[in-house]
Amino acid sequence: MKITDFIQKETIIPALESQDKKSVLLELSEPVAKVSNVNHNEIVKVLLDREQLGSTGIGGGIGIPHGKLKDLETLTIGFGLSKNGVDFESIDGFPTHIFFMIMTPENSTGLHLKLLAQISKMLRNDIFKVKLQQAMSVDEIYEIIAQEDENF
C-alpha cells in the first residue's frame, strides 16, 4: 500500500494560510471534498467530532486529522504544510507544521488503521520531515512522499 495511491496533487496545500486548528481543518478539507465529491461541511464536522475525543496533533510538528464518512467512496488523503506552524493542541504543546488528513469510507476500518500506522512510521524519519518542511510546491511535496513511499 502506498500513500500515493490515495493522495492526489489537488489535495496538497504547500502553504496553509490557517492560523488555528479549526481553520486548518476547514482549509485541508476543501480540496478533499472537491476531489471526493462529498459535502465539505460533513468532512469538517467529522474531523471536529474526532478532535473532541483527543487531539490528532501527535507531536513533533505533526498532525494527522482523520475521520470516516458514509458517503465517501474511496479513502482520500489531504496534505498541508504550515511554514509558521499552528497551535493544533499537540500532545507536546509545540506548533504543528505537517498535516496529513485521512478520510475513509465508514466501512473501511482496516485500511484506515494501516494508513495511519504507515504515515506515522514515515514521519519518524527526520530527513523526510525536513524535506517536507522545506518543500515549496505541490509537485515537490508529491515527489518527496512518493520517494518515501518506496521505502515501505
Break the chain into its structural domains and give their ranges.
Answer: 7-145
By the 10 Å C-beta count (0-12 exposed, 13-18 middle, 19+ buried), 152 is classed as exposed
Q: What residues in the chain have per-residue pLDDT under 50?
A: none
pLDDT at 4: 95
Q: Measure Cα distances from 118 to 55, 112, 149 in Å.
A: 19, 10, 9
Q: Which CATH number is correct for 7-145, 3.30.2040.10, 1.10.357.10, 3.90.79.10, 3.40.930.10?
A: 3.40.930.10
Per-residue pLDDT tens for 34-68? 999 999 999 999 999 999 999 999 999 999 999 99
At position 101, the amino acid (one-letter code) is: M
Global pTM value: 0.96
97 is catalytic: no
